[in-house]
C-alpha cells in the first residue's frame, strides 16, 4: 500500500443542510410537480454520491446524469430505476448495460430508439427538442413507429432561455404541450432551475433543478430562497512583508504603494481559481475581506493581509464565493464556478 499523504492545503465544505433546504424550496415552488435533481458532472463538481444520498434522504426520487459512467458511481446509493441517463444509448452495449442495471435511458433520436428497442426495450425517457437544438427529437419524428412503440416514463424537453423573459420560453412550452399529445407517457418535464420560477404552466409532473440546488441563483425570482452550499477554503502557506515599490506576481501587475503585509495562499488556476480573479477576488477571515493582489498563478494566489495581523501561516481562509456575486465579478457563469473547481479540493 502506498503511504497516506498529508491532507492538501485546500478543502471544499459542502453544507448538506443548505442543499436539502434548496431542494425543498424548489420542490415547493414546483407546485403539484415533484422536483428531481441533476447530479451530472459529479453534482456540478460537489460530489454526486454525497449529494444524491442527502437528497434521497430528503425525499427526492429522480436523478439525472449525463454519462453511463456517472450512473455507475451511484448504483449503490440510489435505486437504479431512479437514475436517468440524459445522453442515451450510443450503441447496443449501452442499451444492454442500461437494461442489466435498471437504468432509464433518455432517448434522443430515432437511432437511439432503434438501439433501445432492438436490445429488448423497457421503460425509458424521451427528449423532444422544442427549440434549443441540442439533443432531442423534432416533433415531426414523434409519429414514427419506433417512437410510438416506446414505454416512456418521462417526456422531456429543455428550455434554452429560462433565465430571461423572452418569447422563446412560451414558444417552447407550446411545442412541449404539442409533443405531449403525440406520445404516450407517464410524466412530462420541461423546467430546469430557472424554468421552475416561470410558473406552473412549465412544471408538468417533474422539474429538473440543477444549479439552484447547489447555491446558484439563475433567476431573480429565486433570490432570497436559495442558500449557499459550497464553500471553498485554502491555506496560507507563507506571509511576507513588502516595501513600497515591491511588485507581486507574473508581469508585476501590482506594485505596493506603501509597506504592507501579504499572504501566499495555496490556490491557483489549476484548482479552478482562474486568472479572471486576478486583482478582483478576495479571501475572508473573521469578517474581513482580504483582496487578491496581482495575477493568480497555477498553484498560488497572493492576498493583502495589511489589516489582518491575526492571519498567519497555516491558517485557513474562505474564498469569497457567493455564486451570483462571483459570476458578476468574474464573467464566469455560476455553472463554471462550481464545475471548474479542481480535483485537489477534497469533496
Residues belonging to the active site: 40, 250
What are the beta bridge partners of residue 34? 206
Read off the C-alpha cell for 89.
444509448
What number of H helices and E strands is found in the chain? Answer: 11, 18
Identify the residue whose cell numbers are 432509464. Answer: 104
Identify the residue whose cell numbers are 454525497. Answer: 50
- Tell me how far apart the alpha carbons of residues 125 and 84 are, in angstroms, rounded to a whole number: 8
What are the beta bridge partners of residue 304? 262
Read off the C-alpha cell for 165.
423573459
- Please name which of 193, 127, 194, 192 lies closest in space to residue 154, comparing C-alpha atoms: 127
- Exposure of 197 in the CB half-sphere (CA atoms within 13 A): 18
Read off the C-alpha cell for 163.
433565465
Amino acid at each position: 500500500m502506498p503511504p497516506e499523504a498529508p491532507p492538501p492545503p485546500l478543502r471544499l465544505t459542502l453544507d448538506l443542510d443548505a442543499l436539502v433546504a434548496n431542494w425543498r424550496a424548489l420542490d415547493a415552488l414546483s407546485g403539484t410537480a415533484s422536483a428531481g435533481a441533476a447530479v451530472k458532472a459529479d453534482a456540478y463538481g460537489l460530489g454526486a454520491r454525497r449529494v444524491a444520498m442527502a437528497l434521497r434522504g430528503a425525499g427526492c426520487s429522480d436523478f439525472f446524469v449525463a454519462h453511463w459512467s456517472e450512473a455507475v458511481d451511484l448504483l449503490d446509493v440510489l435505486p437504479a430505476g431512479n437514475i436517468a441517463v440524459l445522453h442515451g444509448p450510443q450503441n447496443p452495449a449501452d442499451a444492454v448495460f442500461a437494461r442489466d442495471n435498471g437504468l432509464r435511458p433518455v432517448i434522443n433520436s430515432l437511432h437511439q430508439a432503434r438501439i433501445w428497442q432492438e436490445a429488448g426495450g423497457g421503460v425509458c425517457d424521451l427528449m423532444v427538442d422544442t427549440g434549443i437544438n441540442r439533443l432531442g427529437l423534432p416533433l415531426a419524428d414523434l409519429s414514427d413507429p419506433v417512437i410510438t412503440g416506446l414505454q416512456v416514463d418521462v417526456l422531456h424537453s429543455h428550455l434554452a432561455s429560462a433565465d430571461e423573459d423572452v418569447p422563446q420560453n412560451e414558444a417552447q412550452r407550446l411545442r412541449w404541450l404539442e409533443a405531449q399529445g403525440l406520445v404516450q407517457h407517464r410524466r412530462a418535464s420541461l423546467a430546469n432551475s430557472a424554468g421552475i420560477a416561470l410558473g406552473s404552466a412549465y412544471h408538468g409532473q417533474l422539474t429538473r433543478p440543477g444549479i439552484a440546488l447547489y447555491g446558484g441563483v439563475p433567476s431573480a425570482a429565486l433570490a432570497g430562497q436559495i442558500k449557499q452550499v459550497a464553500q471553498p477554503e485554502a491555506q496560507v502557506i507563507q506571509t511576507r512583508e513588502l516595501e513600497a515599490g515591491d511588485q507581486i506576481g507574473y508581469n508585476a501587475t501590482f506594485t505596493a504603494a506603501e509597506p504592507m503585509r501579504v499572504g501566499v495562499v495555496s490556490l491557483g488556476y489549476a484548482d479552478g481559481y482562474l486568472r479572471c480573479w486576478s486583482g478582483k477576488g478576495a479571501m475572508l477571515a473573521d469578517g474581513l475581506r482580504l483582496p487578491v493582489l496581482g495575477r493568480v498563478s497555477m498553484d498560488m494566489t497572493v492576498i493583502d493581509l495589511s489589516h489582518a495581523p491575526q492571519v498567519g501561516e497555516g491558517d485557513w481562509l474562505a474564498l469569497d464565493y457567493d455564486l451570483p456575486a462571483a459570476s458578476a465579478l468574474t464573467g464566469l457563469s455560476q455553472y463554471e464556478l462550481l464545475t471548474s473547481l479542481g480535483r485537489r479540493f477534497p469533496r
